[in-house]
Amino acid sequence: MEELNLTPDVKRVVAKVRGRERISREDAEILWMQAPLALLGMLAVELKREKSGEVVFYNRNIHVEPTNVCVFNCRFCSYHKAAESPMAWDYSLDKVREIVSGYVGKEITEVHIVGGVHPKHDLWHYIDMVRLVKEVLPYVAVKAFTAIELGYMIRKAGLTLEEGLSLLKDAGMEAIPGGGAEIFAPDIRSQICPDKGTAEEWLAVHREAHKLGIPTNSTILYGHIESVAHRIDHLDRLRKLQDETGGFNAFIPLKYRSAGNSMSHLGEVSITEDLKMLAVSRIFLDNFPHVKAYWPMYGKTVTELALSFGADDIDGTIDDTTKIYSMAGAEEQKPSMTVADIEKLVRAAGFEPVERDTFYNPVKRSNFTRNETKQ
Ligand code: V47
């Protein structure tokens, strides 16, 4: 470390990290602003190795995006359209059945369902959707609906979060994805997604899910008008909830992609910023088991680099079933990776690829094939 010419503040924070002492928000800012990128990568990978050794996880998954019609008008979103737009879609339950039926006999273990908050659909519609996916593919885990979609549908049904989430769980919703978190700090949230649920609402849905034994993921949308302090404030709120419940599986930093939305003039942050975001997240979120580098958002090259900055998961095969990032200008216009592609990418970065299920259990293919042919 001597040859790195570190400031006394950075040396102090590095000593804390190496002593496995929790770092404060101020410490995280010092690392972000003053530490060399290579040092952040080394620290993040050291911590990643303590949690998942040489392993980097992936899964075999598809997304279902039932609609892009949304009552909210998030300024960063390239995906939502007015109901009357020729680019809007709203799948019937039969259409969802047709989509997932195409995967019977394929080897996927997860269906990830997220979409716009459609004004005409209600909790009962989404319960039917979860049920039908489990009917067609009983052996997959349904990871469904952002906290924003959930808050809206449950409120509209006049139920408490506990009641609504319990009904969805009984229907087969086994996990909740991390979307909708954006940036928690109200001064930024009110500018980029003024009419969306607040940080407190997002956190309340995840807290309740954790109480009910439903594991969830978490995200941040970074790289627009927020400062480093806002990013760290966001991480801090997640770390506090994780201290309370222990229910988060993964943290997923989502880089703002700038095509086709009303913040396009901002452009995008550098890859250096992406790598710092990953490394500081891994260091700060000492109570999170997994940090995911979501490959359809970063592209494959940055995803490979991300593995040297503390990520231990790259998401899955996807099979060209999500439009959120292609519509926002991501390199991957038809996001799809074979298992061989994924394993090659992970090995190229010096790690050992392991297929996981939604709950981070390694998948034993021979068992899976036997179960699957029983259906
Ligand atoms: O909440 C929308 C983001 C999220 C843009 O839990 C954008 O495993 C960047 O949360 N640029 C939804 N980001 C996607 C999501 C997710 C994805 C993959 C895996 C998981 C998981 C969760 O997408 C939204 C928003 O933060 N988003 N538009 C954009 N222009």
Domain residue spans of the chain = 36-367
| Mean pLDDT value across the chain | 95
Question: What secondary structure, in 3-state letters, does 249-309 show?
Answer: EEEEEEECCCCCCCCHHHCCCCHHHHHHHHHHHHHHCCCCCEEECCHHHHCHHHHHHHHHH
Judged against a pLDDT cut of 50, whether residue 109 lies above it is answered with: yes
Picking from 78-82, 122-126, 272-276, which range would have the lowest pLDDT averaged per residue?
78-82
- How far, in Å, are 65, 120, 148, 266 from residue 117 at the CA level? 11, 9, 8, 26
Judged against a pLDDT cut of 80, whether residue 204 lies above it is answered with: yes
What digits encode the pLDDT tens for the residues 47-70? 999 999 999 999 999 999 999 999
Judged against a pLDDT cut of 60, whether residue 372 lies above it is answered with: no
Closest protein CA for atom 12 of ligand 1: 179
Closest protein CA for atom 5 of ligand 1: 77
- What pLDDT was estimated at residue 367? 55
What digits encode the pLDDT tens for the residues 208-224? 999 999 999 999 999 99
Q: Measured in angstroms, how far is the CA atom of residue 189 from the centroid of ligand 1?
A: 15
Q: What's the topology of domain 36-367?
A: TIM Barrel (3.20.20)
Percent of the chain with pLDDT over 90: 90
**What is the pTM assigned to this prediction?**
0.96
Judged against a pLDDT cut of 60, whether residue 201 lies above it is answered with: yes
DSSP letter for 123, please. H
43: Cβ–Cβ under 8 A, 6 or more apart, which residues?
14, 17, 18, 279, 283
For residue 1, name the pLDDT band (cuts at 50, 70, 90).
Answer: low
- How far, in Å, are 154, 166, 205, 271 from residue 147 at the CA level? 10, 14, 6, 29
More confident call, 365 vs 30:
30
Give the whole-angstrom CA distance, residue 338 versus residue 160: 41
Give the whole-angstrom CA distance, residue 357 versus residue 175: 11
Closest protein CA for atom 24 of ligand 1: 179
Q: Measured in angstroms, how far is the CA atom of residue 324 from the centroid of ligand 1?
A: 7
Instruction: Look at residues 50, 25, 59 and name the one whose alpha carbon lies nearest to residue 177.
Output: 59
Residues in the ligand 1 pocket, defined by CB under 6 Å: 76-78, 114, 146, 177-180, 182, 217, 219, 221, 252, 254, 256-257, 261, 294, 315, 324, 328
Q: Measured in angstroms, how far is the CA atom of residue 179 from the centroid of ligand 1?
A: 5
Closest protein CA for atom 10 of ligand 1: 179
Judged against a pLDDT cut of 80, whether residue 289 lies above it is answered with: yes
Judged against a pLDDT cut of 50, whether residue 371 lies above it is answered with: no
For residue 323, name the pLDDT band (cuts at 50, 70, 90).
Answer: confident
- What pLDDT was estimated at residue 4? 78
Picking from 10-19, 75-84, 259-268, 361-370, which range would have the lowest pLDDT averaged per residue?
361-370
Query: Which ligand 1 atom sits nearest the alpha carbon of residue 257?
Result: 11
Q: Where are the alpha helices (DSSP H) in the chain?
A: 8-18, 25-34, 37-52, 93-101, 123-136, 147-156, 161-171, 186-192, 199-211, 228-245, 271-284, 295-298, 300-306, 339-348, 365-374
Q: Measured in angstroms, how far is the CA atom of residue 330 from the centroid of ligand 1?
A: 12
